[in-house]
Amino acid sequence: MLENLKKEVYKANMLLPKYNLVMFTWGNVSGIDRENDYVVIKPSGVEYEQLSPADMVVVDFKGHIIEGDLKPSSDTLTHIELYKAFPNIRGVVHTHSEWAVCFAQAGKDILAAGTTQGDYFYGSIPVTRKMRKEEIIEQYEKQTGSVIIETFNKRQIEPDQVPGVLVNDHGPFTWGDSPENAVYNSAVLEQVAKMTYHTMQINPDEIEMSRDLLDKHYLRKHGENAYYGQE
């Protein structure tokens, strides 16, 4: 069942160690079959070197296992909330990549400091508010998704244009039009976090790029007038 999607999700999971986005088992990638609203996700706590495509777990939108011998990632319900709220996305990634975590722990947005970020994120990468006690105690993983969605709604950020977020005191989630693309965005987020950090140390008064430059770089790669790449 969903063999192709399982392979795709497996391959995307294996990119996490390749791009140095995970230590041990600290990350997971999922993909979605939009026809049936089935989510395919990495099993919980299994090391990357031991994974195979057949280990991927299929769950429905309630998080119930449809197929698979292993328990799905403990973050599964967060992934599902994102798939429900953001209709265009087809892959979700969660990691504890180190520079992204630093901003999450500091409770600070990753400001759009230059064109590297502007090529992929149409503005700052937001950090959520801290979660409340009752959200932490009850349905924590689902509530993690809710607080992400609330952030995008309240700040009127378009998830297709800013494909990532920092969960406060926790770490990054990213998404994309495929599991692989979601991992790509995760790698970009980590790299721009590192660069914005050092930019802030050199010149804390002068971090954000101009809106004009952001428009130019985001729009030359995305949307109908894009002219970057071979298509």
**Interacting residues toward a copy of itself by CB under 8 A:** 23-24, 26, 43-46, 70-71, 74, 96, 98-99, 101-108, 113-116, 130-131, 133, 136-137, 140, 169-171, 184, 187-188, 191, 194-203, 206-207, 209-210, 212-213, 215-216, 220, 227-230
**Shortest CB 159 distance to a copy of itself, Å:** 22
Q: Which of 60, 140, 215, 228 is catalytic?
A: 228
228 is catalytic: yes
105 sits in the region (left: phi over 0; alpha: psi -120 to 50; else beta) called alpha
* 87 vs 202 by CB, closer to a copy of itself: 202
Backbone angles phi and psi of 178, in degrees to 5: -160, 160
User: Considering beta carbons, is residue 87 or 229 the nearer one to a copy of itself?
Assistant: 229
Residue closer to a copy of itself, measured from CB, 34 or 132: 132
Least separation, in Å, of the C-beta of 7 and a copy of itself?
Answer: 20
- Output b/e per residue, 88-121; b: 16+ Cβ within 10 A: ebbbbbbbbbebbbbbbeeebbbbbbbebbbbbb
Measured from the CB of residue 79, what is the shortest distance to a copy of itself in angstroms? 16
Cα–Cα distance list, 39 to 42, 184, 226 (Å):
10, 19, 31
Q: Which is nearer to a copy of itself, 50 or 156 (CB)?
A: 50
Shortest distance (Å) from residue 169 CB to a copy of itself:
4
As given in the structure block, the two tokens for residue 32 are: 């979605």
For this structure, is 212 an active site residue?
no
- Residue 57's Cβ-count burial label (10 Å; 0-12, 13-18, 19+) is buried
Catalytic residue among 37, 119, 169, 177: 119
The helix-helix angle for 98-106 and 179-202 (nearest 10°) equals 60
CB 123 within 8 A of CB 112: yes
Catalytic (active-site) positions: 119, 228
